[in-house]
Amino acid sequence: MDKKRYRSLEQIFKGISNHRRIQIIDALDQTPELSVSDITEKLGINFRTASDHIKKLVISGIVMKRSDGISIRHALTKRGKEILKICKGLD
């Protein structure tokens, strides 16, 4: 592998290196198109925490954002779905 691939993999692993982020990925798998407010309510965490975690998931290419008028909706990317399969297989 080249250095660029190592950096890419590092970014992915950083994206899922927190239990809250894994919870968010799982929540988005169960119910796609959630807003930050929806995620905070579903997981019982504060808005800023959810927003910070979602930002890291977006940067790592695990979650994508979509504007829905005044609201931003979030969904798993193909990469996010693949990572979730791996996580579920580790049980």
**44-81 pLDDT tens trace:** 999 999 999 999 999 999 999 999 888 899 999 999 99
Question: In Å, how far from its chain's centre is CA 59?
Answer: 9
- The full DSSP string for 20-54 is HHHHHHHHHHHSSSB-HHHHHHHHT--HHHHHHHH
Query: What interhelical angle do 78-89 and 19-30 show, nearest 10?
Result: 110
Angle, CA 29 vertex, CA 24 and CA 30 arms, to 5°: 100
Q: 1: which residues sit within 8 A by CB, 6+ positions away?
A: none
What CATH number corresponds to the domain at position 52? 1.10.10.10
Q: What is the band of 89 on the pLDDT scale with cuts at 50, 70, 90? A: confident
Whole domain around residue 49: which residue ranges? 3-89
Residue 24 predicted with pLDDT over 80: yes
How many domains, the chain?
1
